[in-house]
Structure 1
Amino acid sequence: MHLSFQRVFFALATAFGLFAVLGLAKVVLIPLGMALLISFILFPVCKKIESWGANKMVAAFLSILMLFIIIGGGLTLFSTQIIRLSQEVNSFTDKIMTTLSDALVVVNKNVQFLDDLERDQLIDQGKEWMKNSSGSLLRNTFSGTANFFAGLVSTVIFTFLFLIYRAGLTKSLMYIASEENRLRVFHMLKNIQKVGQKYLSGMFILIIILGLANSIGLWIIGIDSPFLFGFLAAMMSIVPYVGTTLGATIPVIYAFMTTDSIWTPVAVIGLFWGVQTIESNFLNPKIVGSSLNLNALAAILSLLIGASVWGIAGMVLFLPFAAMLRVFCNEFMELKPLAMILGSDVIGNDGRQKDEEGKWVKKIKAWFK
């Protein structure tokens, strides 16, 4: 096999250039990626409204408005619980400082690393540190909130534009190809749209199931605001492999802060461990995994690359984008090896299936002769 160092160099340079562009233009590309996925799931709604006689702009506006109403309704449902939790933050902070100070004093008594380490002194120093760092924390919070709302507005605008210009964008992409391949490009774009749509609808169903399971379990254990913590953990499961664990950390800490018994946090840990086991082995592969058709290696690599390039947004976006890349690569003979690497199908099974199909084709042809 002849190895062309020139082609390897160009491939590596293209990969590094692509990552550089993704990193430098993330302010624009993240809202674009979010808007593309949202437009995929809003496309059937928009098309249905258009069938009732509305034009594209009105249909796109009503589709986005319906999405905001659903999200706003969920936030309103949990608003009282969120306000009550925000009022308890100060008491949680005092309890955390007291617990950490007691732990440090106990450790220092057994393995002495500081002389005259006192509990009250540690608490006072911790409160002083938090008071001094509150200014920078407030500035970072304000900056993060401003960036979030700027990205949200950009996402809404891009979603609206994708919905009203979807026909023109599809035609322009089709006309890039030669005339005999335009129908093939159209089917490829439809498959990409279906992958994004099935992924988002599957995630929505998964969040509802996990939210109800978490909430009922927390309610049985006796945790306050069970539906808030249950659906918060379920929403964090959007980030595969990591999100469910991070979502479980919040109710575990809350149970530790609000109850005196150690068995309550242990019960919460057991609840989320059981739910995560069922979600990873049964629910996610059936509901979401079937729409992505990615193997575990490709999924983990997409999460790591997304996190390194775009942070949390990259962990959310790169997984469905990897599935769309698999659909794209599958349409080109030169890129089919990459599609096979990303796909979840076993090569040996594909080969046997093709052989069986070939035998059936031969039998049919022989029957017609």
Structure 2
Amino acid sequence: MNLVWPVTIKPDIMKQIRQPYILRLASILISTTLIVIALYYLEVVIVPLLFSIIFAVMIFPFCLRLEKWGLSKGIAAFTTVFIATVLLGFLGYILFTQVSIFTENIPQISNKINLLINDLRDFAANKLSMKKSVVAGKIQDQLTQLQNSSDFMPASMLRVISAVLINIFLVPLYTFFLIYFRHFFMEFFYKVFQGADKELIDDTIQKMELVIKGYLFGQLLDILIIGAANAVVLYFIGVGYAIILGFLIATFCIIPYLGMIVGSLLALLVAFITTNTSWQPLTAFSVLWVIHIIDSNLVAPVIIGHKVSINPLVAIFVLFLFGELWGLPGLFLAIPLTAILKVIFDAVPGLHPYGFLLGEPQKYHLKKHSLTHINVLQRKKEMENQKPISESLPTDESLTQSLPEE
């Protein structure tokens, strides 16, 4: 007597069985490579569009308020984009004036750096028993490299300025049409994902919108608060370029762990160059770290909260990845784009593991015997989802049907 056990295989598992693993791996690698190449070479096209999407999401509530006051959709979109562009232009002008002051004082800074290098050379020759010729040769090589990079600076600055000018025209234009044609684009998403539930599409887009607004508004507010605190502290200590340096350090803090290290070392270097005593750089370095600790434990959790729960390792990786792809714009876009990807991965059933990987570890992942805790939790979850034994066993009717006919 042969018993036939009823077995059902899910379609996605059946598809994986039919498709060899090596073929799936090759297709994933080829697709990833093509996407990275496209992102690199289409930077001029993609980056303004991404900035426009984020910009549109941020200013859309103000546009909606103008529409409720009676303005038409086109006039409300134009007014909102125009006011936001003027405000950003004003902030850019302030930043440009600070950078101009810094560039005008480059000769004095260069002389101060030369004096500092001479002191380091004498210290190395006297205290470390190194020959002055060796020290001078190494320092001369570094100065030559610095000179070459400074000669290259005008060309790189010209490229940056040209890219900024292009974005000044493209980003507001894209933003206006994204807001004005928003219902048209929503219908496009419905047509693309016809098999999906419309409520799921609306919920996913709403989560992406909340992530962008929550993260960017919170991050900008945090940068303003911490940047102002840094600038005030550096100004009273007597460090030069306090305003631009304070806000630059606050911006560096977007990078988890590494950002504050780089920012504090930069502040230490600028303090050594622009001050005449030894206590000022050390005081600036120490006070900036105190501000950062207060921000990390008190200010940032209240302002930003857990709106964007990105794994710190993933955050550092994507910052370097997008920075290598797109430079400075990539650093600004890295975290929001990763957060949007996490929302999409969490919404698509087949991509849940990748959304889990992008998220922050839970407390039980960080315990001493975390693997044991994870296994226990997994067993509990499997037991909760497991059917009762009476439902798993075959019935008498199914056994009778599976018997061979005599």
TM-score scaled by length of structure 1? 0.81
Which residue, 314, 317, 323 being the options, matches 1:298?
A: 314
Distance 1:209 1:111, change over 3 A: same
Distance 1:7 1:51, change over 3 A: same
Structure 1 range deviating more: 221-230 or 108-117: 108-117
Distance 1:117 1:352, change over 3 A: closer
- 1:119-146 Cα deviation digits (max 9, x unpaired): xxx7xx969x84x876543233223322
Where 2:360 maps in the other structure, the secondary structure is coil
Equivalent pair of 1:31/1:152 in contact (CA under 8 Å): no
Equivalent pair of 1:174/1:186 in contact (CA under 8 Å): no
Which amino acid counterpart does residue 61 of structure 1 have in structure 2? F
In structure 2, the partner of 1:212 is: 228
- 1:275-315 Cα deviation digits (max 9, x unpaired): 22233344334433511122223222322322232233222
In structure 2, the partner of 1:271 is: 287
Equivalent pair of 1:175/1:182 in contact (CA under 8 Å): no
Where 1:175 maps in the other structure, the secondary structure is helix
**1:156 and 2:164 matched:** no
Q: State percent identity of aligned pairs.
A: 24
- 1:70-92 Cα deviation digits (max 9, x unpaired): 33444566777655544433211
**1:9 and 2:30 matched:** no
In structure 1, the partner of 2:116 is: 99
Where 1:330 maps in the other structure, the secondary structure is helix
Q: Structure 2 unaligned segments of length 5 or more: list them.
A: 1-15, 366-373, 386-406
Distance 1:274 1:81, change over 3 A: same
Give the Å deviation of 1:115: 8.2
Q: How does 1:1-369 map to 2 (within 5 A)?
A: 4-74=21-91, 84-108=101-125, 110-112=129-131, 114=133, 130=147, 135-178=151-194, 181-223=197-239, 226-288=242-304, 290-344=306-360, 346=362
Equivalent pair of 1:108/1:117 in contact (CA under 8 Å): no
Where 1:290 maps in the other structure, the secondary structure is coil
Which amino acid counterpart does residue 37 of structure 2 have in structure 1? A
Give the Å deviation of 1:224: 5.1
Give the Å deviation of 1:178: 2.2
Q: 1-side partners of 2:124 and 2:317: how far apart?
A: 40
Where 2:192 maps in the other structure, the secondary structure is coil
In structure 1, the partner of 2:392 is: none
Give the Å deviation of 1:350: 8.9
Distance 1:18 1:73, change over 3 A: closer
Q: 2-side partners of 1:342 and 1:133: how far apart?
A: 37
Equivalent pair of 2:235/2:242 in contact (CA under 8 Å): yes
Q: 1-side partners of 2:96 and 2:171: how far apart?
A: 24
Distance 1:353 1:231, change over 3 A: farther
Where 2:71 maps in the other structure, the secondary structure is coil
Which has more radius of gyration?
Answer: 2
How many residue pairs end up in the alignment? 353
Which amino acid counterpart does residue 312 of structure 1 have in structure 2? L
Distance 1:163 1:267, change over 3 A: same
Structure 1 range deviating more: 316-325 or 287-296: 287-296
Q: 2-side partners of 1:311 and 1:140: how far apart?
A: 12
Structure 1 range deviating more: 145-154 or 265-274: 145-154
Which amino acid counterpart does residue 71 of structure 1 have in structure 2? L
Q: 2-side partners of 1:272 and 1:300: how far apart?
A: 21
Q: 2-side partners of 1:12 and 1:352: how far apart?
A: 34
Distance 1:278 1:9, change over 3 A: same
Distance 1:249 1:50, change over 3 A: farther
Give the Å deviation of 1:103: 2.6
Give the Å deviation of 1:169: 1.1
Where 2:26 maps in the other structure, the secondary structure is helix
Equivalent pair of 2:121/2:135 in contact (CA under 8 Å): no
RMSD value, Cα:
3.6
Q: Structure 1 unaligned segments of length 5 or more: list them.
A: 359-369
Equivalent pair of 2:239/2:275 in contact (CA under 8 Å): no
In structure 2, the partner of 1:362 is: none
Which amino acid counterpart does residue 237 of structure 1 have in structure 2? C
Structure 1 range deviating more: 193-202 or 182-191: 182-191
